[in-house]
Amino acid sequence: MTAIEAASADLSSAQHERARRLALLARASRDELEAAWAALPVQPSVTALRGPETGLVMLRGRMGGDGAPFNLGEATVSRASVRLGDGSVGHGQRLGGDRQAARLSAIFDALAEGGDRVAVDALCAAIAARVEADAAREAAETAATRVNFFTLVRGED
């Protein structure tokens, strides 16, 4: 999540918080989203503003990693925008073709925008814990493959 935090350094704290929430919702599994939806004490009425729909995002790289941009290739992306009964609007977007997950993400974003934080904060905390645990385990597995060089005694000495 460091990239998100660095990129959103100049945002207001509300924008920063929303960017973080959307990044976590994009990483949520369909099961996590459906369980959180089923657990809501009151399920809001939902009006679709856009989608849910699946399309493409053109992914860009930079020449040499740090030069001018170029088009690398596309990825599937699903997105949805919804309005809840209280008028709050939310957006969901994620890589892949899971439109239902994008729609549920948009609903949770809208709930948080409408001030109904408890369920959304709990969901985001659970996603963050899982994502961070996975990343930490993967990093530890990679670290175990680090080469520690040692110098052999050379014959000519």
Partner 1 sequence: MYVAVKGGESAIENAHRLLADRRRGDRSLPAITEAQIVEQLSLSVDRVMAEASLYDPGLAALAIRQARGDMIEAIFILRAYRTTLPRLAVSRPVDTAAMRIERRISATYKDLPGGQLLGPTFDYTHRLIDPALVGEPDVPEAAVAEVTGEPVMRVADILAHESLIELEPRVDAEPGDITREPTEFPMPRAERLQSLARGDEGFLLALAYSTQRGYGRSHPFVGEIRIGLVEVEIDVPELGFAVSLGEIRLTECQMVNQFKGSAEKPPQFTRGYGLVFGQSERKAMAMSLCDRALRAAEYGEDITAPAQDEEFVISHCDNVQATGFVEHLKLPHYVDFQAELGLVRRLRANYDAARAAEPEDDSFEEAAQ
* 30 near partner 1, rule: CB under 8 A: no
* 128 near partner 1, rule: CB under 8 A: no
CB 80 within 8 Å of CB 52:
yes
Within 8 A by CB and 6+ apart from 111, the residues are: 44, 84, 88, 90, 119, 120
Least spacing, CB of residue 41 vs partner 1, in Å: 28
Size of the chain, expressed as the number of residues it contains: 157
Among 29-37, 39-47, 91-99, 121-129, the segment contacting partner 1 (CB under 8 A): 91-99
* CA dist., res. 91 & res. 82, Å (int): 7
Within 55-74, the residues that bind partner 1 by CB under 8 A are 55-74
* End-to-end alpha carbon distance in the chain: 50
In 3-state terms, what secondary structure has residue 8? coil
Nearer to partner 1, 39 or 135 (CB): 135
Q: Which residue in 29, 76, 85, 125 binds partner 1 (CB under 8 A)?
A: 76
Give residues in contact with partner 1 (CB under 8 A).
2-4, 6-8, 11, 15, 18-19, 22-23, 26-27, 53-77, 79, 91, 93-97, 135-147, 149
